[in-house]
Amino acid sequence: MDELERKALEYHSAGGIAGKVSVVPTKPCRTAEDLALAYTPGVAKPVLRIEADEEEAYRYTDKGNLVAVISNGTAILGLGDRGALASKPVMEGKGVLFKRFADIDVFDIEIDEKDPERLVDIIASLSPTFGGINLEDIKGPECFRIERELIERCPIPVFHDDQHGTAIIATAGLMNAAEIIGKRLDDMRVVVNGAGAAGISCARMFVAAGVRRENLVMLDSRGVIYRGRDGLTEEKAEFASDTDRRTLAEAVDGADVFMGLSVKGVLTGEMLRTMNHDPVVFAMANPDPEITYEEAMAARSDVVMATGRSDYPNQINNVLGFPFIFRGALDVRATRITEGMKMAAARALAELAKEEVPEEVSAAYGGERFEFGRRYIVPKPFDPRVIEHEAVAVAKAAVADGVARRPITDWDGYRESLRRRMEKYWG
């Protein structure tokens, strides 16, 4: 047993309470009167109010601050299909992050079902309980269909974080990287290596941000996805290119951006040296990236490098996205998360990274100093300003897109309420 395994297993089992989450009541239950109000006969009163008007559930229950984190365990954190039960530590972990960074309550739900149609039926039937649904670690291509059908069936936000979380943070990073190196998104040649849920979503969002579709090449385990190649899924066909390039080495030659969502070691230093000046490399394979930070720096001194790891600069971390996106969506009672809300989140993160970083952020990272530039293109998760920037931007976009059932009009007041809400976590 290595040191990481020992510490991780001890962390998950210590303290006399197994796991990472628990349910804590928010109202007193110390007297007979409390019991009569919490349960029978008092509980009948809000039941009847909700029967008469379903919106009353947001007043009398935790629905408006409760998200379901749901998985069937078919694509666990790069570990693959390990089963629904084995996904529970990850789903509990997501619950911890929701609570810690956005004060959102979570029930983690692991469903032992691989059939997409049945899985959709099960999740849809659970939707009255929640204000939002976060899908997690569900393999592609089924994940696309599952999310799409749930969005149509459920009157609450449904968000598959494996798709959109990475895309939102990576788009923020790409916009800032382009600004730092003095390139325009619509002039940049982009290579996306990996055509799973995250790869497809990143490609879509890059295009929405300004990358020209004809300048983007996508690869899967068989190589370049080109027009006329057989066996393409609907999602892969969307990004089939008119090109005679077939390998990763050929694809990155002269490219401005490498976006890796694949496996370790596929991008070599030699390949990196063939890229355009000031190349942008997002190597997101975890725990071992497509090219190591050290190898990339040795190959190109002008590279702007990001990974999914916390021990290198520019971590593309999904925790910068989902808690704050759901916070904004829940607070305006959004019926769905729109493309506009996702882009608003990315732009808010990109703008925050340009602001002066407060001392408390430096202290959270061992005294390290951060300044907008090649080694700092996205904010840090432990920056307490993220929630007020991102949640407000998402909520505003929901109102603008017409999906907010309870629009906010006092944005300064909302921003201040977020600060007060999070004081107990930041001190």
State the Cα–Cα distance between residues 378 and 171, nearest whole angstrom.
10
Q: Is 94 a catalytic residue?
A: yes
Mean pLDDT of all residues belonging to the chain = 95
Domain 164-307 in the same topology as domain 62-156: yes
Q: Catalytic one among 11, 39, 60, 425? A: 39
pTM: 0.95
Q: Summarize pLDDT for 353-400 with one digit per residue, the tens.
A: 999 999 999 998 989 999 999 999 999 999 999 999 999 999 999 999
C-alpha distances (whole Å) from 57 to each of 66, 125, 129, 334 are 12, 17, 9, 15
Q: Summarize pLDDT for 270-281 with one digit per residue, the tens.
A: 999 999 999 999
Q: Average pLDDT for residues 33-37, to the nearest whole number?
A: 94
The pLDDT score that the predictor gives to residue 41 is: 95
Give which of 118, 121, 137 is closest to 72, Cα–Cα: 137
Token pair in block for residue 291: 């090219």
Q: Summarize pLDDT for 90-136 with one digit per residue, the tens.
A: 999 999 999 999 999 999 999 999 999 999 999 999 999 999 999 99
State the Cα–Cα distance between residues 136 and 321, nearest whole angstrom.
14
Q: What is the pLDDT confidence band of residue 15, given thresholds at 50, 70 and 90?
A: confident
State the Cα–Cα distance between residues 263 and 270, nearest whole angstrom.
17
CATH superfamily of 164-307: NAD(P)-binding Rossmann-like Domain (3.40.50.720)
The pLDDT score that the predictor gives to residue 4 is: 85
Q: Is 11 a catalytic residue?
A: no
Place of tokens 């090649």: 374
Q: 380 CB contacts (<8 Å, ≥6 apart)?
A: 357, 361, 364, 365, 370
The pLDDT score that the predictor gives to residue 388 is: 95
Question: Which three-class secondary structure state does DSSP give residue 95?
Answer: helix
Compute the CA torsion angle 375, 300, 215, 397 (nearest 10 deg). 0
Give percent of the chain with pLDDT exceeding 70.
Answer: 100
Q: Catalytic one among 94, 236, 342, 396? A: 94
Residue ranges per structural domain of the chain: 62-156, 164-307, 326-426
Instruction: Specify the CATH number for 62-156; select among 1.10.520.10, 3.30.160.270, 1.10.287.610, 3.40.50.10380.
Output: 3.40.50.10380
Q: Which region, left, alpha or beta, applies to residue 80 given φ > 0 means left and ψ of -120 to 50 means alpha?
A: left
